[in-house]
Amino acid sequence: MNPKVKTGISAAQTGLKAVKIGKKALNLKKKLPGEKKKATQKALEKSAKKAAKQEQKTEKKQSCRQRNRRALKNTKGIGRIALAIWNRYF
């Protein structure tokens, strides 16, 4: 699958997760008294940020793996070409 398509899909999934967390926060906020509302809201915002950050880390790790694999393939190809030229001309 194209890496751009994968990143688009993962971004959409992250957006859906954020919407779900926001809905939960609003529901909890309506049910709790004043001070607890603020505390739960802060906790939910913090957990949402943490989840988004973790999602970005996994995406970055996955893209780095793909990039490294491509680089490895390219270097192997370059080595084969260099060896063939060396054998032919030297």
- What are the b/e assignments for 38-59, b being 16+ CB within 10 Å? eebeeebeeebeeeeeebeeeb
d(CA 74, CA 67): 11
* pTM, full prediction: 0.39
Q: What is the pLDDT of residue 16?
A: 67
Domain locations along the chain: 3-89
DSSP at 59: H
Residues of the chain short of pLDDT 50, as ranges, are none
* pLDDT value of residue 32: 67
